[in-house]
């Protein structure tokens, strides 16, 4: 029988993840699982690869971005998840796929529920797919939810 004690919902705050959030919340309620809601702030090296360098970024950029992410995570209210479900909110910094995998391993996550952007062709080749990397390398089950 399936039993999930810790469910991880990584988000980039895009609309494509809203459906995945609803499913993660429902699973957390049904299984009485702890729901971990995570956002990863992209590291500077990855941003520099797209032509933005540290010289153009304000000194306080990382702090501001992390603070905004923490504020946005608070918009996932405990009431949306349900009574008796513990919600853990975390902001990490680095390569999204790596931080998601590392967190899942360290926290003993049983299931990762994440949205996909549904990119294909050239956009997929250029942007890659965090969900795809997570599915291939995750230490636990992964449920990917396509945009509606």
Q: How confident is the model at residue 139, as a pLDDT?
A: 95
Residues of the chain with pLDDT under 50: 55, 122-127
Q: Give the pLDDT score at 108.
A: 97
**What is the rounded CA–CA span in Å between residue 84 and residue 33?**
9
* Model pLDDT, residue 76: 72
pLDDT in tens, 98-110: 999 999 999 999 9
Alpha-carbon distance 1 to 5, whole Å? 13
pLDDT at 126: 43
Looking at residue 48, what is its pLDDT? Answer: 53
Domain boundaries, the chain: 6-21+30-145
> Could you tell me the two tokens for 41?
């702030």
pTM, 2 dp: 0.82
Estimate to the nearest angstrom the gap between the alpha carbon of 51 and the chain centroid. Answer: 25
Count CB-CB contacts under 10 A for residue 30. Answer: 11
In three-state form (DSSP H/G/I as H, E/B as E, the rest C), the secondary structure along the chain is CCCCCEEEEECCCCHHHHHHHHHHHHHHHHHCCEEEEEEEEECHHHHHCCCCCHHHCCCCHHHHHHHHHHHHHCCCCHHHHCCCCCEEEEEEEECHHHHHHHHHHHHCCCEEEEECCCCCHHHHHHHCCHHHHHHHHCCCEEEEECCC
- The residue written with tokens 């899942």 in the block is 104
Q: In the CATH scheme, what is the homologous superfamily, with its name and number, of domain 6-21+30-145? A: HUPs (3.40.50.620)
Nearest to 94 by CA among 133, 60, 46, 147: 46
């Amino acid at each position: 029988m399936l039993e999930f004690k810790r469910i991880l919902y990584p988000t980039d705050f895009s609309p494509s993840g809203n459906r995945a959030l609803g499913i993660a919340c429902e699973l957390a309620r049904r299984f009485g699982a702890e729901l971990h809601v995570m956002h990863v702030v992209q590291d500077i090296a990855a941003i520099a690869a797209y032509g933005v360098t540290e010289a153009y970024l304000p000194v306080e950029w990382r702090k501001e971005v992390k603070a905004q992410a923490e504020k946005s995570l608070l918009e996932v209210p405990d009431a949306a998840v349900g009574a008796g479900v513990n919600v853990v909110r975390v902001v990490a910094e680095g390569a999204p796929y790596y931080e998601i995998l590392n967190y899942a391993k360290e926290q003993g996550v049983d299931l990762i529920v994440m949205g996909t952007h549904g990119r294909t062709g050239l956009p997929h080749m250029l942007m890659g797919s965090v969900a795809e990397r997570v599915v291939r390398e995750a230490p636990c089950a992964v449920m990917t939810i396509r945009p509606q």
